[in-house]
Amino acid sequence: MSKKLKIGLFGFGCVGQGLYHVLNKSTGFKADIKKIVVKNKGKDRKVEPELISYDKWEILNDPEIDVVVELIDNADDAFDIVSEALKRKKHVVTANKKLLALHLEELYRLQEENNVSLLYEAAACGSIPIIRTLEEYFDNEELEKISGIFNGTTNYILTKTINEKLSYETALKQAQEQGFAESDPTSDVEGYDPKFKAIILALHAFGLIIKPEEVLNIGITTLQDEDITYASEKGYKIKLTPVIRRLEDNKVSVFVLPRFIKAANQLYNVDNEFNGVIVEGVFSGEQFLQGRGAGSLPTGAAVLSDVSALSHGYRYEFKKYAQKHVPEFTNDVLVTAYLRYNVAEDLGQLPFEEITERYSGGKYQYVVGRINLRHLISRRAYILENKLFICLVNEQVSLHERVQQTSGKTELVSY
């Protein structure tokens, strides 16, 4: 029989209000929010005044509160709250993907030491139950890859650029007016948000804990009309896609880049604020999950799902993190990409291993070919400062090959 939980809630913004709404409308599960801690004292909130507090210790020191739900924006403040709650042996539910990506190892250790649960389904892909899927369905199967659309804001912008031929700037402004993008959209449009989510999923899919600074993220801020035209003429849509892929020699590569998507791909028709996740298992093959990637009620429902799971004693088992043969993370891989550049010097800064397509006409120049991911990492600032646009042509990733001389013959060797 499930236990009726008492909740201490931090934050009452979009997601916090969504949780409050779905919790009060839920018929199959009941829990009480005992206290809501907020920061802004001057804001009007449509809840009972006695629920509101401005002191975090009213929740952390309350022995009746079983579950701390953390739904604030600031990752540093969130870490202080979550780590303190775990030390006080309270279960925690969070939707803060940056907090998790920055502190996965320490938070894993704290929940183990204190024998409590830390759940965070809402931190990755909104209403799509991808973490629970990886934990429960794929816990004993080796995976080949996870890819998809993890960010609703950029997907909305990119949908408008292709479907309605809007410029990037116009589509971004529209996304802000619709409430899909923040006034400062940096985390979304520069690819930080989907990177944090990819790091979280890499733990549950492959048992890897990766530092965010090791993972490349290049977003869509340098997208121009010429790139949109190129995609349309080729029959592509542009999507911002994290790629988490197993390679030879038990290695895994993780990165975030824009990508050209063909009509045959399941992600092609995932538009507007929706997210889609593709998981490929060695034995089960390819699975596809789609759902709303953002919004008050979908994300609130994902938080409530975690709270409900806690009432039944659920916790992540992290089976792949505990296994003996955890893969090795690598950035030394080749990807096939389109690069729209300005001058010949740009190609000198970004040396392609091979070029299969080239165009130069007036102000618009591009190449398509294979390039080492390490070059993109080392030249990330150069790409952004000079407004170059880099986009995957496919999601094929291979270990870098080097040429070695053997008995007078040249051979390609993977490593």
Residue 258: CB atoms within 10 Å: 25
In a domain, 76, yes or no: yes
Condensed to tens digits (0 to 9), the pLDDT of residues 321-353 reads 988 788 999 999 999 999 999 999 999 999 999
Q: How confident is the model at residue 396 (pLDDT cuts 50, 70, 90)?
A: confident
Whether 415 and 304 share a structural domain: no
Domain encompassing residue 35: 5-131+297-322
CA-closest candidate to residue 120, choices 321, 314, 254, 297:
314
Q: What residues contact 214, with CB distance under 8 A and at least 6 apart?
A: 329, 331
CATH number for the domain spanning 61: value is 3.40.50.720
In a domain, 150, yes or no: no
Whether 66 and 110 share a structural domain: yes
Of 169-183, 278-292, 359-373, where does mean pLDDT reach its minimum? 169-183
What type of residue is 351?
A: P
Whether 370 and 309 share a structural domain: no
Alpha-helical regions (H) of 138-285? 152-163, 168-177, 186-189, 192-206, 225-234
Whether 301 and 414 share a structural domain: no
**Residue 371 above 80 pLDDT?**
yes
**Residue 90 above 70 pLDDT?**
yes
Whether 27 and 79 share a structural domain: yes
CATH number for the domain spanning 354: value is 3.30.70
Report, as an integer, the average pLDDT of 78-84.
98
Give the integer Cα–Cα distance in Å for 265 and 244: 17
Give the integer Cα–Cα distance in Å for 395 and 93: 33
The residues annotated as belonging to the active site are 197
Which pLDDT belongs to residue 3? 66
Q: What residues contact 347, with CB distance under 8 A and at least 6 apart?
A: 339, 341, 367
In a domain, 309, yes or no: yes
Condensed to tens digits (0 to 9), the pLDDT of residues 98-116 reads 999 999 999 999 999 999 9
**Residue 44 above 90 pLDDT?**
no
Which pLDDT belongs to residue 82? 98
CA-closest candidate to residue 308, choices 117, 52, 135:
117
Q: How far is CA 292 from CA 36, 80, 273, in A?
A: 26, 29, 6
Q: How confident is the model at residue 175 (pLDDT cuts 50, 70, 90)?
A: confident
Specify the number of domains making up the chain: 2
In a domain, 397, yes or no: yes
In a domain, 45, yes or no: yes
In a domain, 379, yes or no: yes
Give the integer Cα–Cα distance in Å for 252 and 326: 10
Return the ∠ at Cα 127 (arms to 123 and 129), rounded to 5°.
80
Whether 306 and 357 share a structural domain: no
CA-closest candidate to residue 86, choices 66, 102, 58, 71:
66
Whether 304 and 411 share a structural domain: no
Q: pTM of the predicted model, to two decimals?
A: 0.93
In a domain, 149, yes or no: no
Q: How confident is the model at residue 403 (pLDDT cuts 50, 70, 90)?
A: very low
Whether 118 and 11 share a structural domain: yes
Whether 60 and 107 share a structural domain: yes
DSSP letter, residue 269: G
Whether 28 and 72 share a structural domain: yes
Whether 21 and 126 share a structural domain: yes
Whether 305 and 378 share a structural domain: no
